Amino acid sequence: MATTIGAKQQLQRGASCRPARAGLKRAVRVQAIASEPRVAVTSNNGAAPGTTLGDWSPESWRKRTAHQQPNYPDKEEVAKACGEIKSYPPLIFAGECRNLQERLAKAAVGEAFILQGGDCAEAFTQFSANQIRDTYRVLLQMSVVMMFGGGVPVVKLGRMAGQFAKPRSADLETKGDVSLPSYRGDIINGPEFTEQARIPDPWRLVRAYNQSAATLNLLRGFSTGGYAGLKRIANWNLDFMANSDEGKAYMDLARRVDEALQFMMACGLSSDSDIMSETEFYTSHECLLLDYEEALTRLDSTTNTWYDCSAHFLWCGERTRQLDASHVEFMRGIQNPIGVKVSDKMDPAELVSLIASLNPDNTPGRLAVIVRMGAEKLRAKFPALIEAVEQAGQVVTWVCDPMHGNTESCNGFKTRRYDNVRAEVEAFFDVHDAMGSVPGGVHLEMTGDNVTECVGGGSAVGEEDLNTRYHTHCDPRLNAEQSLEMAFYVASRLRQRKEKIAKQKNQHITLAF
């Protein structure tokens, strides 16, 4: 029957939700401990994770070159702002990171799939409960499409509650004959093109922390307070639903999930069970602004290891992944699951060295390699990267970021074409098919708002529409409809993959669509 696999996966997810709930409860207790003044620990005595850390400490990155950092005019103010943040509670709990790492390890072997998505840059002026809810809701919808259509559990990882700092290609932005420091994200300076706004202000760190805490609070409320329960699947509709193909396809799928749930309830599944009322949701952002990340790095009292408590998952950007520089130094020591972005400039041997630095114990789920190079280059260069990593015996979770290799300029706007974005996802799945390796997830810049920032897709945003609702402060995001369309495409590829594997094993499965 069409719905059997989807419902079965839901049941499996339900069983694995329990430890996370325990983790959330424990978080309240341990956060109180973790917010006590920090104990200076420079080595890790005996615990399995981090045994190869040597002389790492939360501040050891300061001895290396830190790329893409702001040039604050007043360093004493930076120390004061960071001192405040050091006294604040951590935003996440180390036990949650460990749960996430287990999920990511499953994605590395094809037993789960990662959906990582959210704003390019969160902004102080675009901060409201509705905006958070809308992005969260599209992520939920996308995950249901992928789970039901693709037959795998989906790990939901928001680029939310901390995605503020932006690396830039150029230090200066020029308009006419005026050049000013580039905007580097609201945690650093303002987007307005004025001299004053572009001065890095350290007290923005505190505001970003507070906004992250409030966002996370709401996300936790949505995730465990009933909003995200599968029994509400048909209620997660957005304004465009009735009028678009994606919206109608989603509502049709939601009805079928509903039917499957009715069936499962008739079989004995309780309407009070965890999967009916809550979901797991994790947060992530680029580990860029090291003063901030250091201030939130705390010693976990249960394992005596360090976690960067600004988010569950942090990634190292394409511009800051130099082996001998500060970001890699910082990230090798934190025990959160982490990622590293990789463009076509990456050489296979360099990737192997980078992975060895970031995951010396070769722990499954610890490291995601997030490739972003555009479809054509990906077809040409990605196989050699996979081969080198496999030959080195390294375990990584491969994730596709189809956004950052596809940025172009049009009518004075930065944009991305939906067809190019989709082509890169297609290439990512094709290469894995050919190599026999595992596509572990997608990483998208997207929003629940009805913006006109990327062109194409079923929503038919044209080049001429770019100036109507172009709200991003940095890079263009897929809107809700384009995101959902992408989810249906990913689901179709996950389904194909599952069917192929089943055929090889001589099994028969039927998936939703």
- Binding partner selected for residue 169 from ligand PEP, ligand E4P, none, CB under the kind-specific 5 to 8 Å limit: ligand E4P
344 annotated among ligand-binding-site residues: no
Q: Is 96 annotated as a binding residue?
A: no
In the list ligand PEP, ligand E4P, none, the entry touching 67 (Cβ below 5 to 8 angstroms by class) is none
Residue ranges in contact with ligand E4P by CB under 6 A: 120, 166-169, 474-475
Q: How far apart are CA 417 and CA 457, in angstroms?
A: 8
Write out the binding residues for ligand PEP, residues 267-296 only, by CB under 6 A: 286
Using a 10 angstrom Cβ sphere, with 0-12 exposed, 13-18 middle and 19 or more buried, the burial of residue 174 is exposed
Give me the amino acid identity at 367.
L
Whether 75 has a binding-site annotation, put simply, is no
Diameter of the chain by CA atoms?
71
Contact window for ligand PEP (CB under 6 A) among 146-154, 197-205, 311-319, 490-498: 311-319
What does the alpha-carbon distance between residue 46 and residue 19 come to, in Å, rounded to a whole number? 25
Which of ligand PEP, ligand E4P, none does residue 249 bind (CB under 5 to 8 Å by kind)? none
Provide, rounded to whole angstroms, the least separation between the CB of residue 407 and ligand PEP.
Answer: 9
Q: Is 404 annotated as a binding residue?
A: yes
Instruction: Give the span between the Cα atoms of 317 and 314, in whole angstroms.
Output: 10
Q: Is 259 annotated as a binding residue?
A: no
- Shortest spacing between CB 471 and ligand E4P, in angstroms: 15
Q: Using alpha carbons, select from 499, 373, 500 the residue that is nearest to residue 443.
A: 373
Of 383, 360, 358, 353, the residue nearest 371 (C-alpha): 383
Shortest Cβ contact with ligand PEP: which residue? 317
Q: Is 13 annotated as a binding residue?
A: no
| Residue 13 binding result from ligand E4P, ligand PEP, none, given CB thresholds of 5 to 8 Å by partner type | none
| Min separation Cβ 271 and ligand E4P, Å | 42
318 scored as a contact of ligand PEP (CB under 6 A):
yes
Least Å distance, CB 369 to ligand PEP, is 12
Q: Would you say 448 and 137 are in contact if contact means Cβ atoms under 8 Å apart? A: yes
Of 208, 174, 216, residue with least CA distance to 189:
208
Strand boundaries in 76-185, DSSP class E: 113-118, 154-159, 172-175, 178-181
User: 184 a known binding residue?
Assistant: no
User: Taken in order 120, 126, 127, 129, is the CA torsion positive or negative?
Assistant: negative
CB of 371 to ligand PEP, least distance (A): 9
Query: Is 159 annotated among the ligand-binding residues?
Result: yes
Is 74 a known ligand-binding residue? no
The option from ligand E4P, ligand PEP, none interacting with 106 (CB < 5 to 8 A, set by class) reads: none
Does residue 372 belong to the site contacting ligand PEP (CB under 6 A)?
yes
Binding test (CB under 6 A) with ligand PEP, winner from 23, 190, 317, 374: 317
CB of 468 to ligand PEP, least distance (A): 24
DSSP code, position 64: S
Positions 410 through 439 that interact with ligand PEP (CB under 6 A): none
Beta carbons within 10 angstroms of residue 120's beta carbon: 22
Nearest partner of 403 among 131, 121, 31, judged by Cα = 121
Stretch that binds ligand PEP, among 268-276, 317-325, 346-354, 390-398 (CB under 6 A): 317-325
Q: What is the DSSP letter of 461?
A: B
DSSP collapsed to 3 states, 273-312: CHHHHCCCCEEEEECCCHHHHHHCEEEECCCCEEEECCCC
By the 8 A CB rule, do 161 and 120 touch?
no
Instruction: State yes or no: residue 117 binds ligand PEP (CB under 6 A).
Output: no
* Span near ligand PEP by CB under 6 A; candidates 80-88, 138-146, 312-320, 464-472: 312-320
From the list ligand PEP, ligand E4P, none, which binds 318 (C-beta under 5 to 8 Å, kind-based)?
ligand PEP
Q: How far is the CB of 474 from ligand E4P (least distance, A)?
A: 5
What single DSSP character describes residue 417? B
Give the annotated binding-site residues for phosphoenolpyruvate. 159, 318-319, 341, 372
The footprint of ligand PEP (CB under 6 A) covers 120, 167, 286, 317-319, 341, 372, 404
